[in-house]
Amino acid sequence: REGYVRLPRSGRLRGYVPDGADAELRGLPTALLCDGRPRAAWELEGVRQEIVEYFHRTFTLFEKLHEMFLVSTAFFEKHEQLRHPPIFYMGHTASFFVNKLHLGKFIMERIDPVLEMQMAVGVDEMSWDDLDTSKYVWPSIEEAEADVEAATAFLQKVMDFR
């Protein structure tokens, strides 16, 4: 909608400018963890560092998508009938990581169990799930950002664990 999204005069989003400052975020290849080659102990630290770097770069790139919204109301409006509002996706990625680590019993504590459960459901296009917006109480932008920051710091602690 008019006034919701910031586009440069060229009509292209900042994150997609080929020579933009964000180019290094997009240039990182996917970490290959299952090539079948046995690793020596000294190589594992390099693999771990590659995972950590990949996590932070992809997470930063994802967060930059939210910078194009001009007004906070844009985060709470459903722009597509079978999708949640953007505020859901803002918290979904961080919650996904925390939920998977908890499900796998790699961690016992949670950051915000209510928010993590709410942000975990309804990603697929299921009209029976996505159309019932009355059951959701979305967090404020500040709450979602704080949860993402806490989850990122928490996940960094997990990745630093040896």
> Is residue 22 over pLDDT 70?
no
H helix runs in 9-162, sequence order: 23-26, 41-64, 86-103, 113-118, 127-130, 141-160
Q: 125 falls in which pLDDT band (50, 70, 90)? A: low
- Helix, coil or strand: residue 5: strand
pTM of the model: 0.66
- pLDDT above 70: percentage of residues in the chain: 71
Q: Cβ–Cβ contacts within 10 Å for residue 95, how many?
A: 25
16 — pLDDT class (breaks 50, 70, 90) = very low
Estimate the share of the chain in helix, then strand, then coil, as percent rounded to the nearest 5: 55, 0, 45
Which residues contact residue 68 at a Cβ distance below 8 angstroms, ignoring those fewer than 6 apart?
5, 6, 7, 13, 14
Written as six digits, the tokens of 17 are 């400018």
Angle at 142 between CA 58 and CA 152, to 5 degrees: 35
Question: What is 121-155 written as a DSSP string?
Answer: S--S--HHHHT-GGG--PPPHHHHHHHHHHHHHHH
**Eight-class DSSP state of 89:** H
Per-residue burial over 35-50, b if 16 or more Cβ lie within 10 Å, else e, is: eeeeeeeeeeeeeeee
Higher-confidence residue: 24 or 15?
A: 24
- Which tens digits make up the pLDDT trace of 46-70? 888 888 888 888 788 888 888 778 7
| Per-residue pLDDT reduced to its tens digit, 141-159 | 888 888 788 888 877 777 7
Q: What's phi and psi for 100, nearest 5 deg?
A: -65, -40
From CA 84, how far away is CA 15, in angstroms rounded? 23
